[in-house]
Amino acid sequence: MTSPAFDALRARRSHSKVTDEAPSRAELEHLLTAMSSIADHSGLRPWRIIELRGDARRSLGEGLAKAAAKQETRSHKESDAEKHISKAMRAPLVLAIVVSPKPSHKVPLWEQEAVASGVAHSLGLLLHEAGWGSIWRTGPLTRTKAVRKAHGIKKPEYLLGWLYVGGIPDRDKTPKPRKPLDVTKHLSSL
Ligand SMILES: Cc1cc2nc3c(=O)[nH]c(=O)nc-3n(C[C@H](O)[C@H](O)[C@H](O)COP(=O)(O)O)c2cc1C
C-alpha cells in the first residue's frame, strides 16, 4: 500500500553537500503555508524561521566562532573563526528553526518544542519533495548566548538548529539505501 505522503517520506533523505542554487523567498513562503496543518496544541504556532542568505550567513558563523572561543581554554585563533564562517556558508540558504514559546497554562514548553520540531521535519520533507537538498544541523553551540545574539533571538526563544538548504548535486540524485525498520521494536500493544 502506498500513497503520495508515504512515498515522499520513504524517499526523503538529507543532503550534506548542496549546490549554490536555492529556493526563492516566494517558494519558501509557499512551502511554509502548509505548516498551518501541523499538529499544534491550542494552535499557538510557537515557532518561527529565520532565513539567512548571502552575508547574513556570516553572522551565524561569527556567532558560532564567538561561542566556541568562549568555551575553549586555548587562545582563540583567527583561523577558527574562518572555519566557523565557512561552515555557515556551506549552503546558499540557511534556515534557523526557532522555538517561540507562547504563554499557556495548558500547553507546556515540551509540547511547544514538539510543534517546532514537527515544522522542521515537515519542511525538510517538503523541500526534498520539491527537489531541494537539505540537512538539519545542530551542535553544542546551538543554544549559546553568542549564537542566539547573532540571530537577534531573545529568551524565551531558542534555536532547534538549522536547515542547510541548496540544490542537489547530480551525483546525489539517487535513492538512499535504508536499513529496514524492524517494526516489532517500535510498535507494541498493551
Ligand atoms: C535535531 C537534529 C539535529 C541534527 N544535528 C546534526 C548535526 O549537527 N550534524 C549532522 O551531520 N547531522 C545532524 N543531524 C542528522 C542529519 O540531519 C541527517 O538526518 C543525517 O545525516 C542522516 O541523513 P538522513 O536524514 O538522510 O537519514 C541532526 C538531525 C536532527 C533531527
What is the three-state SS of the chain? CCCHHHHHHHHCCCCCCCECCCCCHHHHHHHHHHHHHCCCHHHCCCEEEEEEECCHHHHHHHHHHHHHHHHCCCCCCHHHHHHHHHHHCCCCEEEEEEECCCCCCCCCHHHHHHHHHHHHHHHHHHHHHCCEEEEEECCCCCCCHHHHHHCCCCCCCEEEEEEEEEECCHHHCCCCCCCCCCHHHCCCCC
Q: Which residue minimizes the CA distance to atom 7 of ligand 1? A: 137
The one-digit pLDDT tens for each residue of the chain (190 residues) are: 789 999 999 999 999 999 999 999 999 999 999 999 999 999 999 999 999 999 999 999 999 999 999 887 555 555 588 999 999 999 999 999 999 999 999 999 999 999 999 999 999 999 999 999 999 999 999 999 999 999 999 999 999 999 999 999 999 999 999 999 999 999 999 9
Residue 111 falls within a domain, yes or no? yes
Residue 151 falls within a domain, yes or no? yes
Could you tell me which residues are annotated as the binding site?
12-14, 41, 136-138
**ipTM metric:** 0.99
Domain membership of residue 138 as a residue range: 12-52+90-170
Residue 77 falls within a domain, yes or no? no
Residue 181 falls within a domain, yes or no? no
Q: How many domains does the chain have?
A: 1
Residue 159 falls within a domain, yes or no? yes
Q: Which residue minimizes the CA distance to atom 20 of ligand 1? A: 14
Residue 184 falls within a domain, yes or no? no
Q: Which of 10, 13, 14, 174 to mutate to test the pocket of ligand 1 (most atoms within 8 A of CB)?
A: 14
